[in-house]
Amino acid sequence: MDRKEETKIVKNALKQAGIKAAVGHGAGTAWGWLEIRIEKLTEWGEHIINPETNDHRDCPYCKRRHAIGQQALQIALQVTGRHGDYDGRISIG
């Protein structure tokens, strides 16, 4: 599958799942990587960092963003058939 077709397929699948994201491919040595950039949404909650530990594991925003990222990755893997190292060379940001 060529990169343009792959981009369209992933973009449509994410849209059907209700995930707002920009989809594209890397450049240069990363030309084969599929890049998914999830849109930041205010309804995910406030980004909270524990000032004592500089930790954000309990942050509701981070938890939601991670869950959406994992869902987007699974969708992309399913519709593209990618597999292997580095989550099939799919970057979620």
Structurally, the chain folds into a number of domains equal to: 1
On whether the CB atoms of residues 82 and 76 are closer than 8 A, the answer is yes
The first and second tokens of residue 55, run together, are: 């930790």
Of the chain, the percentage scoring pLDDT greater than 90 comes to 57
pLDDT in the model for residue 55: 79
Domain that holds residue 84: 3-92
**Conformation bin of residue 55: beta by default, left when phi > 0, alpha when psi is -120 to 50:** beta
3-class DSSP state for residue 48? coil
pLDDT (average), residues 41-58 = 76
Distances (CA, A) of 5 to 8, 50, 93: 5, 43, 21
Q: Report whether pLDDT(45) > 90.
A: no
- Average pLDDT of the chain, as a whole number: 89
Q: Report whether pLDDT(44) > 80.
A: no
The residue whose two tokens read 């990755």 is 73
Reported residue count of the chain is 93
